[in-house]
Amino acid sequence: MQAIDYLYPWHEKSLEQLAASRSRPGHAWLLEGPEGCDPEPLASAFAALVLCEAVAGGSMACGQCSSCRWLASGSHPDYRRVQPSALALVEIEEGEDEPQRKSSTKPSEVIKIEQIRALSDFLSVGTHRGGWRIVQIDPAHRLTAESANALLKTLEEPIPQTLFLLASDQAQALPATIRSRCLQFRVPLPTPDALVSWLGAKLGIDRPEAERVVRLAGGRPSQALIYADKAQAATHRSVMELLASLPDTEVAKVADQLQAVAPVQWVPLLAAWVEDLQRVAMRLEPRRFPEASGRLRDLVARLSPWDLSGFSQWLARERPLLRHPLNARLFAERILDRYSEVIVKKG
């Protein structure tokens, strides 16, 4: 599949802006934006454009030249994509028909230093096609401290005809030294109406359902796709019923049931619930869960807005642990205990 096939329609203008630098793109770009803006497809489209050998003045790769065909098949000699192995494995499973060789090593959720060091051979020789060579790193915020330091050494000494494309919707997590050595490009979120229309057309769901999903996802495209998935919808509903029942339901009982759900699924739902609690505490209408306005008001009457704000900030700091908690059961209980302390239990 060509990289351009992944481009969201609301990113087309951004690609046009990036296309202006196609002939002299510099040595490093950081494509960043608010959480959920999904800059990776835009980075892939820009990479395809820079490598394309037939495009003339346009903002999209032709998709037909040798370079585009190699890129589509994953065999371009002048392109490398660096991702956490867990993400790369998902792409292989979704894109390949042949069975994959199983490994006893658990796929990593971070970009390891070995992956950055492995680029040395690729970067030490001239380009195969006499044009640009591209290293795409995404999500860039998954670089470990060690791998970021290894990358920094390369960025400090630019290599001719070599472009690094970093993409992240959590760029604030990157070291300032990395950000300062990149040209920065802001990737926008779509308007709610644009996202609703796109989601309805893509998945064939009616507008009220698309609006509900977009509202729940906070306007984030990738999250909206997840919440719109019918196979996961029941899980999301049950998780929200559990979270909304706190603190009247014992934390231990809720944690027992949540341990079967990945924290990356249920913690964002809790964060969205807390966001609506904060809105109701300020006498505003809930944005993410309007159907639960009664329960939200009941809970707000039993809490301190200051304590709720403190919990919200604490929960945000816990995000780095979501993908690799040491014990899912204990992790859930720790988060839920902290949340329940904010609300006075009835009875």
3-state SS, residue 139:
coil
Tens digits of residue pLDDT in 19-47: 988 878 889 999 999 988 999 999 999 99
Reduced to 3 states, what is the DSSP secondary structure of residue 274? helix
Listed in sequence order, the residues at least 6 apart from 46 whose beta carbon sits closer than 8 Å to its beta carbon are: 15, 18, 19, 29, 31, 165
Which strands form 162-168's sheet, in the order they lie side by side?
79-82, 133-137, 162-168, 28-32, 183-186
C-alpha distance across the termini of the chain, in Å? 58
Where do the domains of the chain lie, and which CATH numbers do they carry?
A: 3-186 (3.40.50.300), 191-219 (no CATH), 229-340 (1.20.272)
Which percentage of the chain shows pLDDT scores above 90? 67
Q: For residue 139, is the peptide bond before it cis, meaning its omega torsion is within 30 degrees of 0?
A: yes
* Top-confidence residue, 102 or 173: 173
**Which residue, among 54, 58, 50, has the nearest Cα to 29 in the 3D structure?**
50
pLDDT (tens digit per residue) in 87-96: 765 554 444 4
Q: What is the pLDDT of residue 230?
A: 81
Q: b/e map of 300-331 (b: 16 or more CB within 10 Å)?
A: beebeeeebeebbeebeebbeebeebeeeeeb
Say yes or no to pLDDT of 291 above 60. yes
CB burial of residue 296 (10 Å; 0-12, 13-18, 19+): buried
What's the confidence (pLDDT) of residue 175?
A: 95
pLDDT-based confidence at residue 275 (cuts at 50, 70, 90):
very high
Tokens of 225: 């796709």
